[in-house]
Amino acid sequence: MPPLLTFVARSSDGLPLVANTAPDFSQGVTQEHKNQAKDILRGLGGTAGASAKLSIDTTNNLIFHYLVRDTLVHLTLTERSYPKRLAFLYLDEIADAFLESLVNDHGESGWRTALATTARPYAFIKFDLIIQRRRKDFVDPTSRQNTTKLNEDLADIQSIMRKNINEVLDRGEKLENVGNISSNLVKESKKFKWGAKKLTWQAMVNQYGPVVAAGGVVGF
């Protein structure tokens, strides 16, 4: 079977830019898997030290693979038996094609700005057609074309970490909690500063107020 789900998202916040489902091979793909994909992307958003490549086991004998490159996250879902090396070769081709599409549409100097200022999810849905064409090339891992790709690929995939979906999503929740705590601390800090300024002003009024009042009486 080919890659069953494919997402391209902005790495800074996990905003999905385009998504594709293999229509003839997606019987085992559930709404839960689609939600997990979005959660993975959100969990990666702005995370310092996130792995550039990672494989994540999930249910129904399926596995996610993602690749982070050029401020973008490329994620796919395959059967667990699908060759890991071929899955990452697929993501490499998706990454190359998506970047080429961005440069063609917005120029060498403008694609990063276009990407950073995009606010609407799935704003690059036209790229779906390119994903469909690329996916067809990866339907059969034993085809001559894919066998040649595997033989010519020299990338070290043994070093790519493999985790469980619960571990990854739990980490995402913890990171989100840390972010919320940090945000609350900033708010409380601002309140504290305002309160401190108010107390200082009140102390000055209490200390010098009578003197000013007395001076006013004498002057009068």
pLDDT in 10s for each residue of the chain, 220 residues: 789 999 999 999 999 999 999 887 767 788 999 999 999 999 887 665 567 899 999 999 999 999 999 899 999 999 999 999 999 999 999 999 999 999 999 999 999 999 999 999 999 999 999 999 999 999 999 999 989 988 888 777 777 888 888 888 875 444 444 344 444 545 555 554 555 555 665 665 566 555 444 455 444 3
pLDDT value at residue 198: 58
Q: What is the per-residue pLDDT for 162?
A: 87
Helix (H, G, I), strand (E, B) or coil at 28: coil
**How far lies 22's CA from each of 3, 76, 155, 201, in Å?**
7, 11, 26, 67
Residue type at 40 in one-letter notation: I
CA angle 142, 94, 117 (to 5 degrees): 165
Entry pTM:
0.74
Closest CA to 62 of 95, 30, 99: 30
Q: Are 89 and 153 in contact (CB under 8 A)?
A: yes
pLDDT for 178 equals 38
Show the tokens assigned to 80: 């667990």
Burial class (CB in 10 A: 0-12, 13-18, 19+), 102: buried
Q: What is the DSSP string of 151-220?
A: HH-----TTSEEEEHHHHHHHHHHHHHHHHHHHHHHHHHHHHHHHHHHHHHHHHHHHHHHHHHHHHHHH-
Q: How confident is the model at residue 204, as a pLDDT? A: 59
Dihedral sign (CA 134, 136, 140, 146): negative
Containing 8, the helix (H) or strand (E) segment is strand 5-10
